[in-house]
């Protein structure tokens, strides 16, 4: 009798443990990675690495940008789904930086939906380097694809969302290098991202076109209303970005 009771208790313990695991794994994991535009000072981190940031304070865990607005939208609409959101934007990052932290900040989290917005710092660093060499678009393309391959190897069912970088001419931005070259190179990076999205069956979120449309639709509104320094979005622009991200990713849900 005692053996029977013990066996039942063991079985119930296993069932309960399994149920707890199922519950913990129920919610899809959304991961947003990129530079300061995604960062938004999540975890009160400034430019700190993810490991040094606050991961529990719900007042600061998502930052204050489009990523926060996307998380707020899905968590409000689908509370029963148990969605989990991670912000892994870090201010100042370029694609090289993402590569260095990909294992810790992407593969270890193993998201179900991975959103990437990167590129503006790659071009800013190039312009600031003073080099006469052309920006290596082929190497940039290859590195971007390699990161996606690593994630797909870890999770073949991963849904990928690729966002295009942007910048618009302002007095502040002109101080950082020739605008025409910056604009052209960002456009080339966006074309690469569009091609990668097509090749990987990823969702494309064309933020560059969003800003083109805003500037065309509101010609009397200064550029700084949307991008206060030519690179970083204002609150109004972050809301527009979140709306576009939500609209374009509707096919995933």
- Sign for the CA dihedral angle at 209, 211, 170, 189 comes to negative
Average pLDDT over residues 148-177: 88
Instruction: Tell me the Ramachandran region of residue 201: left when phi exceeds 0, alpha when psi lies from -120 to 50, beta otherwise.
Output: left
Instruction: Give pLDDT, residue 26.
Output: 64
Domain boundaries, the chain: 28-252
CA separation for the pair 35, 87 (Å, rounded) = 10
* DSSP SS3 for 1: coil
Predicted confidence (pLDDT) at residue 20 exceeds the cutoff of 60? no
Q: What is the pLDDT of residues 224-244, one digit of tens each?
A: 999 999 999 999 999 999 999
Instruction: Give pLDDT, residue 7.
Output: 43
* 67, 89 Cβ separation under 8 angstroms: yes
Mean pLDDT across the chain:
89
Instruction: Give pLDDT, residue 172.
Output: 64
pLDDT range class, residue 252, cuts 50, 70, 90: confident
**Lowest-confidence region among 11-15, 26-30, 89-93:** 11-15
Average pLDDT over residues 29-54: 94
Instruction: Give pLDDT, residue 175.
Output: 59
Instruction: Give pLDDT, residue 227.
Output: 94
Reported CATH class of domain 28-252? alpha beta
Q: What is the pLDDT of residues 2-11, one digit of tens each?
A: 444 444 333 3
CA separation for the pair 35, 65 (Å, rounded) = 12
DSSP state of 63: -
Q: Which residues contact 181 (CB under 8 A, 6 or more apart)?
A: 127
3-state helix, strand, coil in the chain (%, to 5): 60, 10, 30
Residue predicted with more confidence, 164 or 45: 164
């Amino acid at each position: 009798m005692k053996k029977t009771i013990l066996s039942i208790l063991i079985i119930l313990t296993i069932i309960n443990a399994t149920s707890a695991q199922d519950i913990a794994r129920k919610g899809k994991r959304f991961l947003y990675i990129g530079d300061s535009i995604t960062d938004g000072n999540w975890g009160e981190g400034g430019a700190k690495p993810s490991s040094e940031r606050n991961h529990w304070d719900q007042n600061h865990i998502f930052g204050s940008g489009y990523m926060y607005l996307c998380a707020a939208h899905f968590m409000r609409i689908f509370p029963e789904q148990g969605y989990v959101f991670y912000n892994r934007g870090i201010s100042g990052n370029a694609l090289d930086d993402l590569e260095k932290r990909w294992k810790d900040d992407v593969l270890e989290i193993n998201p179900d939906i991975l959103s990437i917005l990167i590129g503006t710092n790659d071009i800013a660093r190039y312009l600031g380097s003073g080099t006469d060499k052309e920006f290596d678009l082929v190497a940039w393309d290859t590195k971007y694809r390699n990161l996606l391959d690593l994630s797909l190897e870890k999770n073949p069912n991963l849904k990928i969302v690729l966002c295009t970088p942007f910048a618009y001419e302002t007095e502040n931005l002109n101080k950082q290098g020739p605008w025409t070259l910056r604009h052209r190179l960002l456009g080339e990076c966006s074309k690469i991202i569009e091609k990668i999205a097509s090749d990987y069956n990823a969702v494309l979120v064309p933020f560059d076109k969003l800003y083109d449309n805003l500037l065309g639709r509101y010609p009397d509104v200064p550029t700084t209303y949307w991008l206060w320094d030519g690179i970083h979005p204002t609150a109004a622009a972050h809301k527009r970005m979140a709306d576009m991200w939500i609209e374009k990713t509707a096919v995933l849900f």
